[in-house]
Amino acid sequence: MTAGPNLFEQQARNRRLTVAWLALFILFFAWLGFGGDFALYLAAAAHSEGPVPYRFPLIGVVVTAVAAVVAWVSWRKGPQQVLWSTGARELTAPQTLQEKQLVDVVEEMAIAAGLPKPRVYVIDDPDPNAFATGRDAASACIAVTTGLLAIVSREELQAVVAHEMAHVRNLDVRLMTLIAALVGVIVVLSNGMGRFLGMGGGRGAGGLLGGRGKKGGEGLGLAALVVFVLWIITLVLAPIISQIMAMAVSRDREYLADATGSELTRNPGALASALEKIETHEAPTTSIKAGAAHLCIADPLGKDVNLKDGRLADLLATHPPMAKRIVRLKGMAFQQLKAAGQAPSS
């Protein structure tokens, strides 16, 4: 049984994606900040008879500074914020048999994955779900709902925990924590810039972009207008595009974690069975909000688009279709039995 790309290939791919996201983040804010300054500079040059009055790139400096601070805080505090937002409680001294079994299973899967034992959390929510978060294996945390503990067997719980350990081992938690932080910054700053323009902050820009310019400045004025329009379009579309990109990465990670987790347990059928039980509970996981939806083993929001396949789902869903994941896992289980000579004859 194989999970496709090996561990080192998966980790290398996640490192490349991390670098690519950082590069896109830097380019976006360079454009959002200094692109606005460039538009205002061209407009000022078109209207000025003497030296251009707009010399200091104020928008670029402010946007870059705010983005850097918010991104750093989100990266450092992101996992703790996710756990806090769900009301998760750490199992430092498990009380019930279910909690003790969970701690034992996490220890077993950490040994199987060759990783330090993550911190274990429980979320008091009747809907079955689970997720992993953290910046790396040393800071990783695994959280499951009480609803999950109530419905799964030990083998199924082991399979779910192995899926989450796969996210840790494959460096998915680092990638997804970074993406969540960067997308959050893009949304916050895009909304902030939009409010600034709506509240009249764009009146100065409107005055520069409109009105009568100096003689021969029509070309510069037109260039300024084109740059400004492109800047506004970027401001509007950036949050949407960044979230779509984040969801695409999340869907791809789920397939890999299913396969890698099945390698850890050598029991893909148990994960298929656990996912079937999770799927039968239609109620959303109310304790887990949209900001952490991409981290979960199943969509906590109950969106219909996650049940479908095709181009629209590929754009809007946070998870691949559950039915498709289950079929893949059952296929892996059949191949495992076939290799052992235990597959049922047709």
In contact, 150 and 205? CB cutoff 8 Å? no
Residue 10 pLDDT more than 90?
A: no
Residue 121 pLDDT more than 90?
A: yes
**Cα separation of 181 and 191, whole Å?**
16
Confidence of residue 196 (pLDDT cuts 50, 70, 90): low
In contact, 132 and 142? CB cutoff 8 Å? yes
Q: What DSSP letter does each residue of 208-245 carry, written as one string? A: HHSS---TT-HHHHHHHHHHHHHHHHHHHHHHHHHHHH
Alpha carbon distances (Å) from 146 to 96, 169, 295? 11, 25, 17
In contact, 15 and 175? CB cutoff 8 Å? no
Confidence of residue 12 (pLDDT cuts 50, 70, 90): confident
Average pLDDT, rounded, for the chain: 78
Residue 301 corresponds to which tokens in the numbers above? 């929001």
Residue whose C-alpha is closest to residue 157's, from 335, 326, 6, 297? 297
Q: What is the pLDDT of residues 281-329, one digit of tens each?
A: 867 788 887 767 778 898 887 765 555 556 555 566 667 888 889 999 9
Active site residue 164: yes
Section 191-196 average pLDDT = 62
Residue whose C-alpha is closest to residue 181's, from 313, 284, 86, 294? 294
Q: What is the pLDDT of residues 243-263, one digit of tens each?
A: 776 676 777 788 888 988 998
Residue whose C-alpha is closest to residue 128's, from 111, 106, 152? 152
In contact, 113 and 169? CB cutoff 8 Å? yes
Q: Active-site residue among 156, 164, 254, 263?
A: 164
Residue 195 pLDDT more than 70?
A: no
Residue 122's beta-bridge partner residues? 89, 144
Per DSSP, the three-state class of 270 is helix
Q: What DSSP letter does each residue of 175-190 carry, written as one string? A: HHHHHHHHHHHHHHHH
In contact, 264 and 166? CB cutoff 8 Å? yes
* Apex 238 CA angle, 69 and 14, nearest 5: 70
Strands 119-123 and 141-145, sheet pairing: parallel
